[in-house]
A and B are shown apart, each in its own frame.
Chain A
Amino acid sequence: SQTIHQWPATLVQPVGSPLSLECTVEGTSNPNLYWYRQAAGRGLQLLFYSVGIGQISSEVPQNLSASRPQDRQFILSSKKLLLSDSGFYLCAWSVGTVNEKLFFGSGTQLSVL
């Protein structure tokens, strides 16, 4: 069966420090991968999505970047965190072009202080 792993679950980082959140999917090939940020009052905001290795689409210009070094690995990064980067980050995957269902990871609560 397919599973999605996202870590860490919580993270407290000082302003200006780097960030690396990792997400891996098991049990499927060539998934579509997504990074979302969930913030109070702003719902679920799509940050990046990828339909294949090295293919990244950015939805929101910001302080973050994403990479997909392997088929089932998706990394969210920042060189210097801002206070406004605080939030709940969710990784998700789907298969195919119909996108019938998105499967979400358990999320990372990031607090930038």
Chain B
Amino acid sequence: AQSVTQLDSQVPVFEEAPVELRCNYSSSVSVYLFWYVQYPNQGLQLLLKYLSGSTLVESINGFEAEFNKSQTSFHLRKPSVHISDTAEYFCAVSETGFQKLVFGTGTRLLVSP
């Protein structure tokens, strides 16, 4: 069965600094990978996804994530964060051909001025 590990429960950064949120997964088969974001007092929404093709995927607000099969990782990065990026970020994995989507425990990104 698949599983997801997000080692950092909280990541504090200053505005305009770069950030990396780590995600590692475990699965015996090929997977799809996702990052979801939950802004304060809002519901969960999809940020970006990897299904196939290019291992580097991007979101519309400047985040990117790279699928690394050898390291079983899907870390989320942004070169320069904004105050508005403050949110909780969840990594998720789904084994191909199955409908079950498993989430990590989440990483709270705190951006301060």
Q: Ordered nearest first, which 3 A-B pairs have the shortest CB separation?
A: A43-B105, A44-B103, A43-B106
> What is the CA–CA distance of A97 and B99 in the complex, to the nearest angstrom?
6
Number of A-B contacts (CB under 8 A): 60
Please report which residues of chain A, range 64-112, place their CB below 8 angstroms from some CB of chain B when the two chains form the complex: 90, 92, 94, 97-102, 104-107
Is the Cβ of B99 less than 8 Å from the Cβ of A41?
no
Give the interface of B toward A (CB within 8 A): 6, 9, 32, 36, 43-46, 49, 51, 90, 92, 94, 96-106
In the complex, the chain B residue whose C-beta lies closest to that of A51 is B99
Across-interface contacts of B44 in A (CB, < 8 A): 44, 90, 92, 102, 104
When the two chains form their complex, are residues B103 and A34 in contact, meaning their CB atoms are under 8 A apart? no
A105 to B100, CA, bound (A): 17
Decide: B106 and A46 in contact? CB cutoff 8 A: no
Q: Which of B45, B97, B99 has the largest number of chain A CB atoms within 10 A?
A: B99
Q: How far is the CA of A49 from the CA of B100 in the complex (A)?
A: 7
